[in-house]
Structure 1
Amino acid sequence: MRSMAEERPSVKGGRAAASATASVEELSASAFQKYLGGMDYPAGKGDLISHARKNDAPDAVIEVLQKFDDRQYQSAADVSKEFGKAK
């Protein structure tokens, strides 16, 4: 019998989650934030992109981050606001 952890895809594994977020239009704010989990703030646009890549973020996540203004983000809530504008 498999454990619950084995049945659910992890964020680090990313491949199952990546197929669920195949396009920017389909990307939800919660799916987006999963790839930024553990981010230390304040953080710049480049920091966010680097962190998302380390977490095996799908192309849609990176595409949205690249649309962000090049500034310092103070918190996950700050990033969520920008996500709403950029998407």
Structure 2
Amino acid sequence: MADISPIDMQKALKGADYPANRDDLVALAKENGADDALVEKLSNTGTEQFDGPNEVQKAVFG
């Protein structure tokens, strides 16, 4: 499995409006062509709501 970079995450979430819930971000990532590993990591975060892209980065990359 390829490593996921913060740049990949930024591309996957391009156009996101915050605050956003996890399910909306997962759907957006899929629409933006994110790879399955990135979508899975985003789907499995314990956070339901994100106030901005920095929160997403912290939740996904720890």
TM category (shorter chain) comes to: 0.7 to 0.9
Q: How big is the shift at 1:81?
A: 0.8
Unpaired runs of 5+ residues, structure 2, are none
Task: Kindly tell me the number of residue pairs found equivalent between the two proteins.
Answer: 62
TM-score, length-normalised on structure 2? 0.87
Structure 1 contact 49–66 (Cα < 8 Å) conserved: yes
Q: Which residue of 1 aligns with 2:10?
A: 33
Q: Percent identity?
A: 34
Q: Which residue of 2 aligns with 1:69?
A: 46
Q: Which residue of 1 aligns with 2:19?
A: 42
Find the residue that maps to 1:64 and give its secondary structure.
helix
Structure exhibiting the larger radius of gyration computed from Cα positions: 1
Deviations 1:46-81 (A, max 9, x none): 011000011111101111111112421000111111
Q: Distance in 1 between matches of 2:34 and 2:7?
A: 13
Find the residue that maps to 2:18 and give its secondary structure.
coil
CA RMSD of aligned residues (A): 1.3
Q: How big is the shift at 1:37?
A: 0.9
4+ long deviations beyond 3 Å: none
- The yes-or-no answer on 1:80 pairing with 2:57 is yes
